[in-house]
A and B are shown apart, each in its own frame.
Chain A
Amino acid sequence: MTRSINLRAGVLSLALLAAILLIWQVAVSGTAKTEAMDPEYAALMGQTATTGKSAMPGPLDVAETMWRHLKDPFYDRGPNDKGIGIQLAYSVGRVALGYGLAVIVAIPVGFLIGMSPLMSRALDPYIQILKPVSPLAWMPLALYTIKDSSLSAIFVIFICSVWPMLINTVFGVASTRKEWLNVARTLEVGPIRRAFTVILPAAAPTILTGMRISIGIAWLVIVAAEMLVGGTGIGYFVWNEWNNLSITNVITSILVIGLVGMVLDQLLARAQRLVTFPE
């Protein structure tokens, strides 16, 4: 039964894809009425003006561009012409750095806060106020203090990843089952061994949930941050292609951003399954 539902879902997905592509193709392939114009002007304006062809690329154009990018993802012809693979690598690298820093800070700090009800209450207002701030609002402050646009982007990733991880770590640590803590107490387990052998494994699924939320947010934010700081990265690539009016490249980037985001999310989902044990 599950097999047949998987099969049917697959067929339905493909049918939807075919329908979307068809509608897309039909929508952009028509030509509109054009007015007579000066031939020189027409040559300058291209098909959009002369034959009334839509400026939106069709699925075949996008597929062709995508194939061109995938065939040679790592070429580098100067600052404004780099392969999509290089741009993605820059973005993933920034996310990895900012996110890694956030892990290093949020998990130990969250652990300490979670173990102490006093700290938990004292720091709660700060977390509650800073958490909803859009990470891009930190950008001017980061640029002013760090004075380096690339580092500022990393800082923005850090600041947006840190909150979900911190909050989930605090919650996971604070809600460790009392029974398990009592087991450790009756066995006279010291505080450090208890933290690593009882609290950390007990809180791990909740911590991983926070990490999964964070990576999603970080990947959302990096595109916007790179549009602001410029230079390299997939966000900059999108903006640059918009300036070039290359809609095919913009659509290609959207698909690639989505794919990478999905891979990052699935990696953490897998990690989460590894640390979750049913009782």
Chain B
Amino acid sequence: MSTLLPFVRRAQAAPDPAAGTHRMSNSEKFISIEGIARRYPAPGAKTTTIFENLWLPMRRGEFVCMIGHSGCGKTTVLNILAGLEAPSEGAVIVDGQAIAGTSLDRAVIFQGHALLPWRTVLGNVAYAVSSRWRKAPKAEIEARAKKAIATVGLAGSEHKRPSELSGGMKQRVGIARALSIEPKILLMDEPFSALDALTRGTLQDEVRRICVETGQTVFMITHDVDEAIYLADRIVLMTNGPEAKVAEIVENPLPKDRDRTQLHHAPGYYALRNHLIDFLVSRSRTLRDAMPEGYDPRHPPVVRPSLSEADAAAITTDSLARRA
């Protein structure tokens, strides 16, 4: 029986009735993705549907990570949120208004940093600042840019060009550029995927610190389960594409004040990690082919795998005994 327990525990980690019944009220929704679809023309007068009828609410100040395999349309969702792409159907409501096109309120941190190589670090950040405050005097623009550069720990490198910086430093400039315009929402498309593990760790710490300090609302795409666990308040799981769906929204049970180095000792960490990995390994495929009975795309199931291994063991034996 004891050898079977881990599997039973994982089954137990499925929808928590309390979390499932709690739906975000309209006033809570800061961002609301409402029934968006993205279709591309395919050969032979057909269309390929990347995803359709996708609904996702987000609270103000919340850090949401989206996980899914390549081709599930994660980047498309982010581009629609940014306004770089228009949805084929549906709409995105931010702060009570449907978005149309890009906006300085929604800053994007690009996967490949996207710095302008002919501008210095200061020039790159100042370009964003002067776009936000068009009439501001030069001194103010420079001061704001320098402040943002200092926030990401690059003070002293203002006059270097991107080619003189390491990959991690370039991405820091990208983050400084996004932060400098004081956006309402920060959108990040696998911002750390091109970095080595050590640099990635330090940058995750920086991003977490900045976002907690400023109460920034963040939507981030990642492939990295540990990154999602460390950074996110809620993790959105996408099934495989095409015709991807939001399989479930996992609420992160770990405390707000997390320490990356101690994270794997936190109660519930492994339950959460195993849940996410199970999803990526098998459920992302099986769920695409057959969604469970009663799946409502408008209200994807909310899951809260909060149990430590010991707790899980106790509860499962309990419920098994009751059933028997």
Is the CB–CB distance between A188 and B104 below 8 Å? Answer: yes
Among A182, A197, A198, A279, the most chain B Cβ lie within 10 Å of the Cβ of A279
B 259-283 contacts with A by CB, 8 A: none
Interface presence of A75 (CB below 8 A): no
The CA-CA distance from A278 to B162 in the complex, in Å, is 8
Is the CB–CB distance between A201 and B118 below 8 Å? Answer: yes
Interface presence of A187 (CB below 8 A): yes
User: Using Cβ atoms and an 8 Å threshold, which residues of chain A touch B215?
Assistant: none
The CA-CA distance from A187 to B103 in the complex, in Å, is 7
Could you show 8 A-B contacts with beta carbons less than 8 Å apart?
Answer: A180-B114, A183-B110, A183-B114, A186-B104, A186-B107, A187-B104, A188-B131, A277-B163
The CA-CA distance from A185 to B116 in the complex, in Å, is 14
Is the CB–CB distance between B116 and A180 below 8 Å? Answer: yes
Task: Knowing that A180-B116, A187-B127, A198-B116 touch, tell me 8 more A-B residue pairs with CB under 8 angstroms.
Answer: A183-B114, A186-B103, A186-B104, A187-B104, A188-B104, A201-B118, A277-B161, A278-B117
Interface presence of B146 (CB below 8 A): no
Interface string of B92-108 (1 = CB under 8 A from A): 00000000011110111
User: Which single residue of chain B is at the shortest CB-CB distance from A187?
Assistant: B131
Interface presence of A101 (CB below 8 A): no
User: Which single residue of chain B is at the shortest CB-CB distance from A200?
Assistant: B118
Interface string of A255-279 (1 = CB under 8 A from B): 0000000000000000000010111
Is the CB–CB distance between B112 and A179 below 8 Å? Answer: yes
Interface presence of A189 (CB below 8 A): yes
Interface string of B74-100 (1 = CB under 8 A from A): 000000001110000000000000000
User: Using Cβ atoms and an 8 Å threshold, which residues of chain A touch B161?
Assistant: 277
Interface size on B, residues (CB 8 A): 24
Nearest CB in chain A: distance from B13 CB, A? 38
A 191-206 contacts with B by CB, 8 A: 197-198, 201-202, 204
Is the CB–CB distance between B127 and A277 below 8 Å? Answer: no
A 155-210 contacts with B by CB, 8 A: 177, 179-180, 182-183, 185-189, 197-198, 201-202, 204
Is the CB–CB distance between B102 and A188 below 8 Å? Answer: yes
Q: A188-B103, A188-B104 are in contact. Are A182 and B116 (CB under 8 A)?
A: no
10 closest Cβ contacts across the A-B interface?
A: A187-B131, A179-B114, A277-B117, A278-B163, A201-B118, A277-B118, A279-B117, A185-B102, A186-B102, A186-B108
Give the interface SS of chain A, mostly helix, strand, loop or mixed: helix
The CA-CA distance from A177 to B72 in the complex, in Å, is 24
Interface residue tally of chain A, by bracket? 10 to 19
The CA-CA distance from A189 to B130 in the complex, in Å, is 10
The CA-CA distance from A79 to B104 in the complex, in Å, is 67
Is the CB–CB distance between A183 and B116 below 8 Å? Answer: yes
A 32-70 contacts with B by CB, 8 A: none
The CA-CA distance from A278 to B117 in the complex, in Å, is 7
The CA-CA distance from A144 to B258 in the complex, in Å, is 83
Q: Which of A182, A201, A202 contacts B110 (CB 8 A)?
A: A182
Interface presence of B121 (CB below 8 A): no
The CA-CA distance from A103 to B106 in the complex, in Å, is 39
Is the CB–CB distance between A186 and B116 below 8 Å? Answer: no
Nearest CB in chain B: distance from A175 CB, A? 15
User: Using Cβ atoms and an 8 Å threshold, which residues of chain A touch B231?
Assistant: none
Interfacial residues, chain B to chain A (CB-CB below 8 A): 82-84, 101-104, 106-108, 110, 112, 114, 116-118, 127-128, 131-132, 161-163, 181
User: Using Cβ atoms and an 8 Å threshold, which residues of chain A touch B118?
Assistant: 201-202, 204, 275, 277
User: Using Cβ atoms and an 8 Å threshold, which residues of chain B touch A277?
Assistant: 117-118, 161, 163
The CA-CA distance from A183 to B108 in the complex, in Å, is 8
Is the CB–CB distance between B110 and A179 below 8 Å? Answer: yes
User: Using Cβ atoms and an 8 Å threshold, which residues of chain A touch B84?
Assistant: 182, 185-186
User: Using Cβ atoms and an 8 Å threshold, which residues of chain B touch A198?
Assistant: 116
User: Using Cβ atoms and an 8 Å threshold, which residues of chain B touch A177?
Assistant: 114
User: Using Cβ atoms and an 8 Å threshold, which residues of chain B touch A279?
Assistant: 117, 162-163
User: Using Cβ atoms and an 8 Å threshold, which residues of chain A touch B162?
Assistant: 279
The CA-CA distance from A277 to B103 in the complex, in Å, is 29
Nearest CB in chain A: distance from B221 CB, A? 15
The CA-CA distance from A179 to B117 in the complex, in Å, is 12
The CA-CA distance from A92 to B103 in the complex, in Å, is 51
Nearest CB in chain B: distance from A172 CB, A? 13
User: Using Cβ atoms and an 8 Å threshold, which residues of chain A touch B110?
Assistant: 179, 182-183
Is the CB–CB distance between A182 and B181 below 8 Å? Answer: no
User: Using Cβ atoms and an 8 Å threshold, which residues of chain A touch B107?
Assistant: 186
User: Which single residue of chain A is at the shortest CB-CB distance from B116?
Assistant: A180
Nearest CB in chain B: distance from A107 CB, A? 17
Is the CB–CB distance between A189 and B108 below 8 Å? Answer: no
Among B131, B132, B161, the most chain A Cβ lie within 10 Å of the Cβ of B131
The CA-CA distance from A204 to B162 in the complex, in Å, is 18
User: Which single residue of chain A is at the shortest CB-CB distance from B187?
Assistant: A186
The CA-CA distance from A204 to B117 in the complex, in Å, is 12
Nearest CB in chain B: distance from A173 CB, A? 15
User: Using Cβ atoms and an 8 Å threshold, which residues of chain B touch A204?
Assistant: 118
Is the CB–CB distance between B117 and A197 below 8 Å? Answer: no
Nearest CB in chain A: distance from B220 CB, A? 16
The CA-CA distance from A180 to B104 in the complex, in Å, is 16
Among A186, A189, A275, the most chain B Cβ lie within 10 Å of the Cβ of A186
User: Using Cβ atoms and an 8 Å threshold, which residues of chain B touch A188?
Assistant: 102-104, 131
Q: A201-B118, A277-B163, A279-B117 are in contact. Are A186 and B127 (CB under 8 A)?
A: no
